[in-house]
Structure 1
Amino acid sequence: MTSPSDRKHAVFPSTDPSAPLVPDEGTLQTRARTALAVERTFLAAERTLMAWLRTSLSMISFGFTLAKFFEYVANQNGAPIVGRFGGTWSPREVGTAMVVIGTVALLAAVVQHARRVGALRREGLLPQWNLAFWVAIAVAALGAFALVSIVLD
């Protein structure tokens, strides 16, 4: 049977007071696993942001196309488009709503991603360039320009 003094400790002091503390093998492995877990969590957050980016880009582009297409059809006919039940379609409002929803969702995803990356940096994530973040910012700006184009047209 081993006594507590026989066991290896994560960090053990030397008999020499000037000697540095030396971590044992288990501590080094634990640190490596923790660093890899933080990196995997960062990559998962990036994948989530890219999924929101794809969804938002689809909504922005579809809303813009829908607004412009129905505007074109209404201008060709010279009359508003009337639906099956007698209601008139307002392409500007439908398209604007989709562009607004896509842009707001993307901005919310960017804020959420920035908060998660900040929390991971406090856990030891090394600073790195985040391509998905900057592409999402560019697409959000594109959504804002599309919204301005629909509203001012």
Structure 2
Amino acid sequence: MSDPRVFFAAERTLLAWVRTGLTLMALGFVVARFGLFLNLLTASSGIPGAAPHWLSGLMGIILVLAGSTTSLGALHNHRLYIRSLPPEDIPQLAKPWLTSFLSLSVATVGVLLVVYLIFA
């Protein structure tokens, strides 16, 4: 007896992890840009010798990398789980590659964002 709910539950779980990865990347970008804001704030206050806030940039990069890793790890875990399902529980989808493409795209954007944060 085929039960496609098992497969669709796995799809929802993958998408929830991708959403978590996106959230981590967005938080990392905000944390990294907050350091730029603090640098501008100390420069405009006229305090001589104020230390640059490089720690927020580093923490932002780490969070963006964690988001990318989360998306890739979720995709890997999803593929392993789908392979363990019996063939009758896997429905025929119009675009079976779509969730993999989404996960890989989110991870790629995260890596590109890290490159931007490092060089900007």
TM-score with structure 2 length normalisation? 0.79
SS at 2:51 equivalent:
coil
SS at 1:80 equivalent:
coil
The ranges of structure 1 where at least 4 consecutive aligned residues each deviate by more than 6 angstroms after the TM superposition are none
8 Å contact 1:59–1:101 — kept in the other structure? yes
Query: What pairs with 1:87-102 in structure 2 (closer than 5 Å)?
Result: 90-102=55-67
8 Å contact 1:49–1:133 — kept in the other structure? no
Aligned equivalents of 1:49 and 1:80: distance in 2?
42
Of structures 1 and 2, the one scoring higher in RCO (CA 8 A, sep 6+) is: 2
2:112 matched residue in structure 1? 145
Aligned length: 111
Aligned equivalents of 1:98 and 1:116: distance in 2?
27
SS at 2:15 equivalent:
helix
SS at 1:90 equivalent:
helix
Normalized per residue, which structure has more helix?
2
Aligned equivalents of 2:77 and 2:92: distance in 1?
17
- Kindly, what percent of the aligned residue pairs are identical? 28
The yes-or-no answer on 1:70 pairing with 2:35 is: yes
Q: Which runs of 5+ in 1 are unaligned?
A: 1-33, 82-87
User: Which of 123, 127, 130 is residue 87 of structure 2 equivalent to?
Assistant: 123
Q: Which runs of 5+ in 2 are unaligned?
A: 44-49
Residue type at the aligned position of 1:67: A
8 Å contact 1:110–1:133 — kept in the other structure? yes
TM-score with structure 1 length normalisation? 0.64
Aligned-CA RMSD value: 2.0
1:51 matched residue in structure 2? 16
Offset of 1:114 from its aligned partner?
A: 1.4
2:101 matched residue in structure 1? 134
Offset of 1:133 from its aligned partner?
A: 2.9
Aligned equivalents of 2:79 and 2:42: distance in 1?
47
Residue type at the aligned position of 1:149: Y
Rg comparison, structure with higher value: 1
